[in-house]
Amino acid sequence: MEHTLVMLVEDKPGVLNRIASLFRRRAFNIESLTVGHTEHPGISRMTIVIDGNQTMVDRVTANLYKLVNVIQVADLAGTPSVSRDLALIKVSVTAINRSEVMQLVEVYRSRIVDVANDSLIVEITGDESKINSFVDVLRPFGILEMVRTGVVAMARGVNVALAAANGNGHKPQVEMTVSQERMTTS
Amino acid sequence: MKRSGAQIIWECLVREGVKTVFGYPGGAIMPAYDALLEYPIHHVLVRHEQGAAHAADGYARACGEVGVAIATSGPGATNLVTGISTAMMDSSPIVCITGQVASKFIGYDAFQEVDITGITLPITKHNYLVTDINDLTETLREAFYIARTGRPGPVLVDIAKDVQQASIEWEYDDTPIRLPGYRPDRRPMPKDMQQAAEMIRSAKRPVILAGRGVLLSNAMNELREFAEKTRTPVAMTLLGIGGFPASHPLNLGMMGMHGEAWVNNAIQQSDLLMAFGMRFDDRVTGNLKTYAPGAKKIHVEIDASEINKNVPVDLALIGDLRETLKQLMPHVETCDHNDWIETIDEMKGDSAVLDIQNLPDNGHLYAAHVINDLWRHTNGEALVVSDVGQNQMWAAQYYKHEKPSTYITSGGAGTMGFALPAAIGAKFARPEANVWVICGDGGFQMTQAELSTAAQEGLKINIAVINNGYLGMVRQWQEFFYDKRYSATPMHNPDFVKLADAHGLTGLRVTRRSELEAAVSKAEETEGTVVIDFRVEKEDSVYPMVPSGADLHNMIRRPSPNIIVETNM
């Protein structure tokens, strides 16, 4: 089963390397990994999608917490959450089928961000399955190039997965998080 | 006050209580070495940086304080790597300080440049590269704090040469360390204590598995009180030796691959294993599928990532062992477990220590005799530092330890060559201790250059070389599992007595058991380091033995008329 881990890490040189090295060293597989700034200077937020059972996720979480620069980790599996992936897709078009592609873009609520004589760049945002489906639909026209950001995710409502990311200007909490508490046995 | 980066290094070390460091100078660390002359810190010049890391490790294991190793950039730094990984595997608190090329050259393959923070990333608890003098104090303070707290481990601080050379207006910053992502002080929850107490109350055949965590959290008294109150037998891992007195009636001895048969059988028959500060290493469990099948498991461990890693457990208490045992004590009831202890006592009749008696005293010299006699002649009070291999297992089996930190060895990493430099570090940590190195002829030669260090420092260490002319443990595996095809295990050794002599040290040779006592006495009376070349039986093996990956109760026993293979459980 896929698990989406969201985490806050210190924005310091080498942190991404430490996390990547941990996954390599312990032979955990990463499906996707994204990283970017948060509203707090000096703190980055990562979203890592991994495929594994709960025991493995607990191991990953516990190992991530051993990294000094990792502040918090939360598993969104089982939590109502929003996850989004963004893709830029350059698709080959002709004068004849351009309008057909544009209709599909409309249906998928994506948008065209570049138009050339024989190609279009389409930007689409959504969960992974929506993007996968769109890619399948465009494939017959000829996909020239594609790039995807990987998944970013956030818990729904006031349910804040990560304490430091609650927008109230709070410093990172040093208390144990939910996912750490759950690190008992089953 | 104005301070250079080089001075700030030592200012910080002095404030951390560092009195001795082990190191080797070179280009990128020369500013630090120059400033060292102004500070009350004794520098021990090793003969290879690996020795510096092992010595820092031995120092830390002997006294519990952070050990410090210093090296230059490039090869100086990479030579530390084996020692760092040894400390990492055994949770030993050391800080390694390395010089790095000047920050403007970093990334340009400058002379003696190496990415040591990249190289040591998976074998350090944490590491740092300092390229700004303003970060230096905070970094060094964090390094010592991280090394010694939580589950201890090695921390490396790589300091660019220009940082050492720069100067700033400086004052020591002693504000609390702020590491938002580092939480070393987790505590188990009260409801888990009650569950643990309930499991302990209903157990009929409990066994405590005591690991290095007992020593690291200083929980010897608490372990003893707990074991006595619940009348639970205590088995130790290799690194747990000394955490529970060998002479205590509840002491079982060492478990695992070369543990006594009754210890492993007790574990296999147990209905409750209480793992205290140990991590179910494969050398301890054997085949995981058949490991203690009828036992519930309680795991008390400070490192949450060890829970359910090798052995799934029924209850995990994550936190410092000593604090956890203190909290747990009021919840547990007094038990007696008479039947269980009687059962174990019956199994003890079939003991490998009897191996010693089984060995014919026909003028040959057996390693087991050497170590057992050494134990007797030193009243069991020596600080024993063993190397890795047969010598290590015999030392663990036949030298009995009553007190903590009297047996130092490389467990997890199994690093040959560890013993001599670690013993040098241990002697600096505990100058009053009677330090004995027990090593094989192979491991001794890996780091024998450190004899020069011992000689230069005027150290008093006794070195027992268990010399069988083979890489003994590999030879034993070749005998058992590779049809006695002795590939690359026979060794032609130098004359160790002459080698000692060449260093201005004393060398002795023992070829018969009858000569042993006189040699040990002579060594203890002699000033300065002594090397004793014990010419032991060449093709002797360590028994019992659980073959790698076999069931813990399936032990190979010493061939004798009565005992061949132990299989009952």
Alpha-carbon distance values, B395 to B15, B311, B401 (Å): 37, 28, 10
Burial class (CB in 10 A: 0-12, 13-18, 19+), B16: middle
Residue A122: beta bridge partners? A89, A112
Q: Vertex B214, ends B211 and B216: CA angle to 5°?
A: 105
Residues A100 and A119 in one domain: yes
Catalytic residue among B89, B113, B161, B269: B161
Nearest chain B residue to A180 by CA distance is: B304
pLDDT at B130 over 70: yes
Q: Which of B100, B139, B183, B313 to mutate to test the interface with A (most CBs of A within 10 A)?
A: B183
Q: Between chains, do B121 and A18 touch, taking CB under 8 Å as contact?
A: yes
Domains of chain B: 2-169 (3.40.50.970), 190-348 (3.40.50.1220), 354-542 (3.40.50.970)
Nearest chain A residue to B130 by CA distance is: A13
SS3 B35: helix
Kind of pairing, strands B234-236 and B20-23? unpaired
Q: Vertex B109, ends B103 and B110: CA angle to 5°?
A: 60
Q: How many residues are listed for chain A in this entry?
A: 186
Q: Which two tokens stand for residue A165?
A: 């990311």
Per-residue model confidence (pLDDT) at position A180: 40
pLDDT mean over B537-551: 93
pLDDT tens, B314-339? 999 999 999 999 999 999 999 999 99
What is the nearest CA distance from B165 to chain A, expressed in angstroms?
Answer: 23
pLDDT at B48 over 90: yes
pLDDT tens, B482-493? 999 999 999 999
Q: How confident is the model at residue B144 (pLDDT cuts 50, 70, 90)?
A: very high
| Chain B residues lying within 8 Å of A63, measured CB to CB | 305
Q: Between chains, do B121 and A17 touch, taking CB under 8 Å as contact?
A: yes
CB contact, 8 Å: B180 with chain A? yes
Q: Which domain holds residue A65?
A: 2-80+156-181
What are the pLDDT tens digits along chain A (186 aa)? 889 999 999 999 899 999 999 999 998 889 999 999 999 999 999 999 999 999 889 999 999 999 999 999 999 988 899 999 999 999 999 999 999 999 999 999 999 999 999 999 999 999 999 999 999 999 999 999 999 999 999 999 876 667 644 433 333 333 333 334 433 333
Residues A45 and A24 in one domain: yes
Kindly state whether residue A124 falls inside one of the protein's structural domains: yes
Look at chain A and report how many structural domains it folds into.
2
Per-residue model confidence (pLDDT) at position B97: 98
DSSP B486: -
Task: Compare CB distances from A62 to B129, B180, B304 and report the shortest one's residue.
Answer: B304
The predicted complex's ipTM stands at 0.90
CB B467 within 8 A of CB B441: yes
Dist. CA B269–CA B292, nearest whole Å: 7
Residues A31 and A47 in one domain: yes
Per-residue model confidence (pLDDT) at position B185: 87
- Give long-range contacts, CB 8 A cutoff, 24+ apart: B497-502: B497/B531, B497/B533, B499/B448, B499/B451, B499/B531, B500/B451, B500/B529, B500/B530, B500/B531
DSSP B490: B
pLDDT at B567 over 60: no
Per-residue model confidence (pLDDT) at position B249: 95
Kindly state whether residue A32 falls inside one of the protein's structural domains: yes
Burial class (CB in 10 A: 0-12, 13-18, 19+), B68: buried
What is the nearest CA distance from A62 to chain B, expressed in angstroms?
Answer: 5
Alpha-carbon distance values, A184 to B20, B298, B314 (Å): 41, 11, 9
Per-residue model confidence (pLDDT) at position A161: 67
Tally: H helices and E strands in chain B: 24, 22
Q: How confident is the model at residue B274 (pLDDT cuts 50, 70, 90)?
A: very high
Q: Which of B182, B301, B313 to mutate to test the interface with A (most CBs of A within 10 A)?
A: B182
Dist. CA B7–CA B2, nearest whole Å: 10
Cα A175 off chain centre by: 25
pLDDT at B565 over 60: no
CB B273 within 8 A of CB B248: no
Instruction: Give the end-to-end CA distance of chain B in Å, rounded to a whole number.
Output: 70
Catalytic residue among B19, B105, B112, B569: B112
> Where on the phi/psi map is residue B280: left (φ > 0), alpha (ψ -120 to 50), or beta?
left
pLDDT mean over B96-121: 97
pLDDT at B357 over 90: no
Residues A100 and A123 in one domain: yes
Q: Between chains, do B308 and A21 touch, taking CB under 8 Å as contact?
A: no
Residues A21 and A61 in one domain: yes
Q: Vertex A159, ends A158 and A163: CA angle to 5°?
A: 100
Q: For all residues of chain B together, what is the average pLDDT?
A: 95
pLDDT at B436 over 90: yes
Task: Compare CB distances from A172 to B180, B305, B309 and report the shortest one's residue.
Answer: B180
Dist. CA B93–CA B77, nearest whole Å: 18
Q: Between chains, do A9 and B181 touch, taking CB under 8 Å as contact?
A: yes
Kindly state whether residue A95 falls inside one of the protein's structural domains: yes
Q: Minimal CA–CA distance to B65: which of B126, B11, B127, B19?
A: B19
Q: Vertex B160, ends A11 and B422: CA angle to 5°?
A: 100
pLDDT at B208 over 80: yes
Dist. CA B446–CA B433, nearest whole Å: 25
* DSSP code per residue over B230-245: HT--EEE-GGGTTSS-
SS3 B60: helix
- Residue identified by tokens 């702020």 is B178
Q: Which of A68, A69, A173, A177 to mutate to test the interface with B (most CBs of B within 10 A)?
A: A68
Cα B450 off chain centre by: 19
Q: Which of A25, A28, A43, A185 to mutate to test the interface with B (most CBs of B within 10 A)?
A: A185
CATH number of the domain at A162, please. Answer: 3.30.70.260
* Catalytic residue status for B111: yes
* Catalytic residue status for B112: yes
Kindly state whether residue A175 falls inside one of the protein's structural domains: yes
Task: Compare CB distances from A71 to B181, B304, B305 and report the shortest one's residue.
Answer: B181
pLDDT tens, B256-270? 999 988 999 999 999
CATH number of the domain at A98, please. Answer: 3.30.70.1150
* Catalytic residue status for B257: no
Burial class (CB in 10 A: 0-12, 13-18, 19+), B475: buried
CB B434 within 8 A of CB B378: yes
Residues A73 and A100 in one domain: no
The sign of the CA dihedral B314, B318, B324, B327 is: negative
CB contact, 8 Å: B194 with chain A? no
Q: How confident is the model at residue B354 (pLDDT cuts 50, 70, 90)?
A: low
CB contact, 8 Å: A1 with chain B? no
| Chain B residues lying within 8 Å of A184, measured CB to CB | 192, 307, 315-316, 318
Residues A62 and A105 in one domain: no
* Catalytic residue status for B566: no
Kindly state whether residue A113 falls inside one of the protein's structural domains: yes
Instruction: Calculate what percentage of chain B has a pLDDT beyond 70.
Output: 96
Dist. CA B527–CA B454, nearest whole Å: 12
Residues A171 and A115 in one domain: no
CB B215 within 8 A of CB B240: yes
CB A185 within 8 A of CB A126: no
Residues A119 and A161 in one domain: no
Cα B470 off chain centre by: 24
Q: Between chains, do A183 and B186 touch, taking CB under 8 Å as contact?
A: no
pLDDT mean over B391-406: 96
| Chain A residues lying within 8 Å of B275, measured CB to CB | none
Dist. CA B80–CA B75, nearest whole Å: 9
| Chain B residues lying within 8 Å of A14, measured CB to CB | 117, 121, 129
Q: Between chains, do B308 and A59 touch, taking CB under 8 Å as contact?
A: yes
Q: How confident is the model at residue B362 (pLDDT cuts 50, 70, 90)?
A: confident
Q: Model pTM greater than 0.90? A: yes
pLDDT at B463 over 60: yes
Residues A76 and A162 in one domain: yes
Burial class (CB in 10 A: 0-12, 13-18, 19+), B530: buried
Kindly state whether residue A186 falls inside one of the protein's structural domains: no
Tally: H helices and E strands in chain A: 5, 9
Nearest chain A residue to B150 by CA distance is: A66
Kindly state whether residue A170 falls inside one of the protein's structural domains: yes
Residue B71: beta bridge partners? B98
Kindly state whether residue A102 falls inside one of the protein's structural domains: yes
pLDDT at B358 over 70: no
Residues A34 and A99 in one domain: no
pLDDT mean over B482-509: 98
Instruction: Give the end-to-end CA distance of chain A in Å, rounded to a whole number.
Output: 17
Residues A97 and A64 in one domain: no
Per-residue model confidence (pLDDT) at position B561: 41
Per-residue model confidence (pLDDT) at position A179: 39
CB B290 within 8 A of CB B311: no
